[in-house]
Structure 1
Amino acid sequence: MPPSKPRSPAPLYEQIRQLIVAALAAGEWRPGDALPSEAALAQRFGASPGTVRRAMDELAAEHIVERRQGSGTFVPTHAAPRQQFRFLRLVADDEAEGFTRELLGCRRLRASAEVARALGLRTSEPVIEVRRLLHRRGRPVVLDELWLAERHFEGLTAEVMARHPGTLYALFETRFGVHMVRAEEKLRAVAATPEAAQLLQVSPGEPLLSVERLAFTYGDRPVELRRGLYYTSSDHYRNELN
């Protein structure tokens, strides 16, 4: 179990924030669970309720915990309807329905130098590569390629993904105990290659939005590298700046 008393020179609220993150990473509270009250946490860490509240404020601002009015504080889960597409920012210009998924492939291979560097792996360490299409309005709008360290997702197969009705991040939570808490993205415009054009049903050379995402779990540990090509003729990519 993670230590229950702060032991570093950092401000006390930051020490408590780190201890709560360590407890989450160790699985003491699972996605969807309610956290103890601030009074209970204050007793656990030997701190004032105000100090614990500040630590919880920091965690809520980072989306590591979720406050629900009148209910308490919870560990967010990608299985919840409001969280399912938290990291997918392609928004319909009309009232189109959500996405359907088409799996193109799932295979085990050795990490390239680029993938290994992004995920903090040894070069040639085993990774799982997933390719899929996301459809909306009966046509493909996103071509996704993603890489995951096999050591964290051992047993992930096309059959496992086909049987899971929800999002990949919800599957990662429930089956592999890996919860994505934040992501970094790089966006740029690219021209559709012949292969991408065929899969997305566009002309070769047509402009697409390229989104490269590195997703992190607790402790700022990178666990997924994803590259997506977005067809945005009837959609836009939304970002909120706070």
Structure 2
Amino acid sequence: MPKSAAPLYEQIRELIVAALAGGEWRPGDALPSEAALAARFQASPGTVRRALDELAAAHVVERRQGAGTFVATHTAPRDAYRFLRLVSDEGKKGFTRRLVHCRRARASAETARMLQLRTAEPVIEVRRLLLRGDRPAVLDDLWLPERHFKGLTSDVINGYAGTLYALFEERYQVHMVRAEEKLRAVSASEEAAGLLAVAPGHPLLSVDRVAYTYGGRPVELRRGLYHTESDHYRNDLN
């Protein structure tokens, strides 16, 4: 272990994250046992356990009773919409998805700043609708660094049955581990109103999200417009 002022469990946590970022373990893979990791990092099993507990709390790994510790994955059904906090008032589950477009663009100054890119660097711009039955619930606009998502097209998105984050994980080896959101109330523009089937000026919830992969690297900027007439935004606070 290298010398550091940080507590040993924090050093081990960061070394595990670095190994994940380097592809040593893929999403869904089982990690070595705590005893094996303790031997690798020359630490006690208790110290390794604390590092893994922190990673589990951050949803980087998941504990499975009697099975061990696994790299978290967006392909698991229970995690399909982990970052989407829109909940149906009537208890309806899941969404259907309708792609509006997927095209190459140049990063605006704001997009470049949020994604730590150069201004005008190539990005992929995705627009889609999430629907509850036949009712549009979310209009999503996404900006993705093209260098991480080469070959992403409408055909690729439409040909994949799972969520976008599962697609990013499986095809592009980009795993979203955390996100930051900003919420504000807005009025629907004419364009957004047409797509969400509401009147222009209708109140919407705007959710700006930056999603990060291992090492705190931003890899997605997303702006969602939520129609909350029959849904609500829910966040469980611990």
Structure 2 length as normaliser, TM-score? 0.98
Residue by residue over 1:14-48, the C-alpha shift from the partner in whole angstroms, topping out at 9 and shown as x without a partner, is: 11001000000001110001111100000001111
User: Which residue, out of 156, 162, 165, partners 1:160?
Assistant: 156
User: Which residue, out of 173, 177, 192, partners 1:177?
Assistant: 173
Residue 8 of structure 1 deviates from its aligned partner by 2.4
Residue 52 of structure 1 corresponds to 48
Residue 126 of structure 1 corresponds to 122
1:17 aligns with 2:20: no
Residue 202 of structure 1 corresponds to 198
Structure 2 alignment gaps of length 5 or more = none
Number of equivalenced pairs: 238
| Structure 1 Cα separation of the partners of residues 78 and 146 of structure 2 | 29
| Structure 2 Cα separation of the partners of residues 96 and 137 of structure 1 | 9
| Structure 2 Cα separation of the partners of residues 57 and 135 of structure 1 | 36
**Letter of the aligned partner of 1:176 in structure 2?**
Y
Asked whether the 8 Å contact 2:61–2:69 carries over to 1, the reply is yes
Asked whether the 8 Å contact 2:178–2:212 carries over to 1, the reply is yes
**Letter of the aligned partner of 1:28 in structure 2?**
E
Residue 71 of structure 1 deviates from its aligned partner by 1.1
166-175 or 96-105, which deviates more: 96-105
| Structure 2 Cα separation of the partners of residues 191 and 110 of structure 1 | 27
Residue 212 of structure 1 corresponds to 208
Asked whether the 8 Å contact 1:7–1:15 carries over to 2, the reply is no
Q: Secondary structure at the match of 2:138?
A: strand
Cα-Cα RMSD? 0.8
Residue 101 of structure 2 corresponds to 105
**Letter of the aligned partner of 1:55 in structure 2?**
A
Asked whether the 8 Å contact 2:180–2:209 carries over to 1, the reply is yes
Residue 138 of structure 1 deviates from its aligned partner by 1.1
Residue 231 of structure 1 deviates from its aligned partner by 0.3
**Letter of the aligned partner of 1:137 in structure 2?**
G
Q: Secondary structure at the match of 1:164?
A: coil
Structure 1 alignment gaps of length 5 or more = none
7-16 or 46-55, which deviates more: 7-16
**Letter of the aligned partner of 2:159 in structure 1?**
R
Stretches of 4+ moved more than 2 A in 1? 5-9
**Letter of the aligned partner of 1:200 in structure 2?**
L
Q: Secondary structure at the match of 1:216?
A: strand
Residue 32 of structure 2 corresponds to 36
**Letter of the aligned partner of 2:44 in structure 1?**
S
| Structure 2 Cα separation of the partners of residues 132 and 61 of structure 1 | 31
Residue 7 of structure 1 deviates from its aligned partner by 3.7
Q: Secondary structure at the match of 1:159?
A: helix
| Structure 2 Cα separation of the partners of residues 51 and 96 of structure 1 | 42
Residue 67 of structure 1 corresponds to 63
Residue 70 of structure 1 deviates from its aligned partner by 1.2
Residue 78 of structure 1 corresponds to 74
1:227 aligns with 2:223: yes
**Letter of the aligned partner of 1:236 in structure 2?**
H
| Structure 1 Cα separation of the partners of residues 26 and 212 of structure 2 | 16
Structure 1 length as normaliser, TM-score? 0.97
Asked whether the 8 Å contact 1:6–1:12 carries over to 2, the reply is no
| Structure 2 Cα separation of the partners of residues 63 and 144 of structure 1 | 24
